[in-house]
Amino acid sequence: MNENNTVEKMRRMKLKAMAGLYHQWLNRTDDKSYTTDEFLALLIDTEWEHRQKNRIDNFIKQAGFKHVASAGNIDYQSSRNLDRNVVERLLTLQFLSNAENIIVTGPTGSGKSYLAQCLGVQACQMLHRTLYFPTSRFLDKVKLAKLDGSYSKLIKTIGKAPLLILDDFLLTPVDQPGRSTLLDLVEERYDKAATIIATQIPVAEWHSLIGESTVADAILDRLVYSSHRIELTGESLRKKKALSA
């Protein structure tokens, strides 16, 4: 058997991690005392882990996060009003299985976006497709889709994502087409997929900002009333970092 040919065949079959490990093993001068079963399991495990990592990396890239946020960096200082037990429970992603929403509110710089993206990254790491949009960018994307005739397809595609994160929700005025889009989106996702909303606008003000009472009622009914709520407080974390730098 030509072992170098075997390595090349593995590479051509796109078994890159397996080929790399096998090549390393061929060139080892120390003990190679694996049983056939042990070595086969090692090759398969290496290839499996490589592919899983690639899938996770692709999920994170496709999500479009501003930051690849880490749960290990969440600040739980008491002034933020952030309960570690609540966050750790959400990080189990049970809310995804239940198609439940999360609303994170708080002043500028309080870490709303970071917390939302932590949950998004966690979802990607567990191989749940996630999409992240600043709300204004999402509405701009929708306007273009309406112009080129791909609106329905876009809403259905976003509607199928297990997790959608809308950041900076309602920071800019919502016009009639925007209201209609938000209603189409929440209707498409209602009871089927989870949505995280991050915003500095208190929930009590959403109705008036959305406008058109009937549409606002329908949107809030689907987004708010069965959601997990996190209300952050305290000074801007960006300001604290600047002062400590």
pTM, to two decimals? 0.84
Distances (CA, A) of 81 to 72, 77, 120, 141, 181: 17, 8, 21, 34, 33
State whether the Cα torsion 65-110-108-184 is positive or negative. Answer: positive
User: Is residue 15 predicted with pLDDT exceeding 60?
Assistant: yes
Which has the closest alpha carbon to 41: 9, 18, 13?
18
The mean pLDDT value for 202-227 works out to 92
72 or 27, which is more confident: 72
CA trace torsion 44, 48, 50, 54 (10° rounding): 160
The residues of the chain that CATH labels 3.40.50.300 are: 64-244
> At which residue do the structure tokens 């009622």 appear?
217
- Greatest mean pLDDT among 17-26, 68-77, 80-89, 227-236: 80-89
What letter would DSSP give residue 104?
A: E
- Distance between CA atoms of residues 213 and 51, nearest Å: 49
- Distance between CA atoms of residues 12 and 5, nearest Å: 10
Element (H, E) at 134: strand 130-134
64-244: CATH, from 3.40.50.300, 3.30.70.270, 2.60.120.430, 3.30.365.10 = 3.40.50.300
Q: What is the pLDDT of residue 49?
A: 85
pLDDT 10s digits, 135-154:
999 999 999 999 999 999 99
- Distance between CA atoms of residues 185 and 176, nearest Å: 14
- Distance between CA atoms of residues 95 and 102, nearest Å: 8
Strands lying side by side in the sheet with 194-199: 130-134, 163-167, 194-199, 102-105, 228-231
Q: What is the pLDDT of residue 172?
A: 85
Mean pLDDT of all residues belonging to the chain: 89
